[in-house]
Chain A
Amino acid sequence: MDWTFLLISTIKIVGLVFLVILPMVAYSVWAERRVSAAIQDRVGPNRVGIAGLLQPMADGLKFILKEDFTPSHVRKTYYWMAPALTMIPSLLTCAVLPFGSRLFGEKMVIADLDVGPLFVFAIASLSVYGIVLAGWASNSKYPFFGGVRSTSQMISYEISLGLSIVPLLMIYGTLNLGEIVQNQAVNGWALLPLWGESLSFQGFLLAIPIFISFVIFMTSIFAETNRLPFDLPECETELVAGYHTEYSSMKFALFFLGEYAAMIIGSGLAVTLFFGGWSLPFGWLAPESTAAEVPWWHGMIHIGTFFAKVVAIILFFIWIRWSLPRFRYDQLMRLGWVFFFEIAVANVILTAIILMVVK
């Protein structure tokens, strides 16, 4: 291990995780509150700083200064572990997301793994342990229900989540997210096949299974991140606050941050797979290959593009949350097992047929 590699990796990790993802988490909470307020004809937090922009700082300060209370009836070890176990996997998964093309000759991805999506799913599924442990260790009925619900929900939707991206992997023939984005930059985004190689009969036909994949993927991401309309593990009306009922102060904040971080990573993955990641539409400023050198200002534009897309998807998440009512539990399970699972499998077959028959 040479020192330059270590140094550059550290810079990338600190830069992405601590200077981009965490502030994004804080500000997506702010955005959530402002957007939900606007949707409900309210104003939302607008007092701290200009337009309430310092509200996340005030919230953070409040969380830090609050008493960190551990109830006497909890199982302490697991109770303390649970918040970390929800937060860490969410942040770990951003290691493989390519958030830019190249900047000063460095690939803008922390770990350029050849198993990108698999790594994300493997790590993201760990966050279910955090929730289950929180629910179980709290030793109280509502958190327990929340934990149980989230176990079955997250396990059920992981299947359709995994299967939904198989068509994409078949089309691009690689599991390296960087390669997938590069391919989309040159040959048209998965959901916008309007330039490059995908501007063909096969490309247009393939847009059908890709769109089905996209719908299943997005819905599963909603379920995986416990967002409305699938927020059964923490639905306020039935379970007080679900699995984090017994938590307070910074431990509660960690659950909160973990949820939003998972949402951001999920958006990042959706952008990478379906909306061409960091690439601009119609092949503008697209590098010829992943190995090609990119001017630094192209690199900056690519990073900006990626985060602009991520922000758009987060706004979509928020928009959905304040539009749709919560699913009933049996409806949720039916949707996951009876519809999405089957449709995802059929979608894989459909893609295979299109790839084989139409040239």
Chain B
Amino acid sequence: MAIVVKRPKLKWWEQLYLPAIFKGLGITLRHFIATVRGKKKVTMQYPEEKWNDHLPEHYRGAPALVTDEQDRERCVACQLCEFICPPRAITIKPEEIPNDDKWAKVEKRPKEFDIDMIRCIYCGLCEEVCPEQAIYLRKDYSITGTSRAEMVHDKKRLYEIGGKRVGLVNKWNELK
């Protein structure tokens, strides 16, 4: 269906363009003055100011492993995160916990746990799927390296980022 676009009939002074031009100049001048006086601030001066304090609660940064309050690594090397990871960034080599270990009853722990940060898409599926609440997406976002090898976070680095997390772990909590 054809639509007839109604064009407004302009008054003679509107056809002069000049009022509209002055109005436009006024708008840009207001923006200019507001920006120069620092009333309006949108841009973050990145290397000096960082996102750190401004990140929202739900921000998904680098994934990391956490230990519990007894410094036991929470990961039991079930490899669910490895299977669910869409870009296959996670590689886990499980190992058995020796019988004389304090945590022998857990039976399994990761020997190696690598996350390739070039591959990681920060989707958070690993966090969602983990039955032990051992892997979390932290707020680290500036992950850089000068080589591919440097961009692979190994177990040590992952615990470094993750740190200690105090809280409920369903399976091993005695209350359960």
Chain A residues with CB under 8 Å of B29's CB are: 319
Q: How far is the CA of A324 from the CA of B25 in the complex (A)?
A: 8
A-B contacts, CB under 8 A, total: 34
Contact A38 B45 (CB under 8 A): no
- Minimal Cβ-Cβ distance residue in B for A38: B35
The smallest beta-carbon distance between A330 and chain B, in angstroms, is 15
- A38-B35, A38-B36, A324-B21 are contacts. A43–B43 as well, Cβ < 8 Å? yes
A40/B45 in contact, CB under 8 A: no
| A39 pairs with B24, CB closer than 8 A | no
Instruction: Assess the B27–A41 pair: CB atoms within 8 A.
Output: no
> A320 to chain B: which residues have CB within 8 Å?
25
Contact B35 A41 (CB under 8 A): yes
Given known contacts A38-B36, A41-B40, A43-B45, is B31 in contact with A319 (CB within 8 Å)?
no
Taking each of B32, B35, B40, B42, which has the highest tally of chain A beta carbons within 10 Å of its own beta carbon? B32
CB distance from A41 to the nearest CB of B (A): 5
With an 8 A cutoff between CB atoms, is B170 at the interface?
no
A323 in contact with B36 (CB, 8 Å): no
Interface string of A34-45 (1 = CB under 8 A from B): 010111111100
Number of interface residues of A (CB under 8 A): 13
Closest to B34 in A: A41
B42's contact among A42, A322, A323, A324, by CB below 8 Å, is which?
Answer: A42
List A contacts of B36 (CB < 8 A): 38
A319 B25 Cβ-Cβ under 8 A: yes
- Chain A residues in 8 Å Cβ range of B32: 35, 38-39, 319
* Contacting pair A323 B28 (CB below 8 A): yes
Interface magnitude class on chain B? 10 to 19
Chain B 15-34 interface 0/1 with A at a Cβ cutoff of 8 Å (1 = within): 00000010011011101101
In whole angstroms, how far apart are the Cα atoms of A113 and B105 in the complex? 101
Alpha-carbon distance A324/B21, docked complex (angstroms):
7
Q: How far is the CA of A86 from the CA of B73 in the complex (A)?
A: 71
Measured between beta carbons, the chain B residues less than 8 angstroms from A319 are: 25, 28-29, 32
1/0 contact trace for A242-281 toward B, CB 8 Å?
0000000000000000000000000000000000000000
Report A167-197 CB contacts with B as 1/0, cut-off 8 Å: 0000000000000000000000000000000
The residues in B between 38 and 60 inclusive whose CB is less than 8 angstroms from any CB of A are 40, 42-43, 45
Nearest residue, chain B, Cβ from A325: B24
For A322, the closest partner residue in chain B by CB is B28
A39 to B26, CA, bound (A): 11
Of A38, A42, A43, A323, the contact of B27 (CB 8 Å cutoff): A323
Residues on B with C-beta less than 8 A from A41 are 31, 34-35, 40, 42
Assuming the contacts A320-B25, A323-B24, A323-B25, asked whether A40 and B31 have C-beta atoms less than 8 A apart, the reply is yes
The 10 closest A-B pairs by CB, nearest first: A38-B35, A323-B28, A323-B24, A43-B43, A39-B28, A38-B32, A39-B32, A323-B25, A41-B40, A41-B42
A42-B35, A42-B43, A319-B25 provided; 8 other pairs, C-beta below 8 A?
Answer: A37-B35, A38-B36, A39-B28, A39-B32, A41-B34, A319-B32, A320-B25, A322-B28
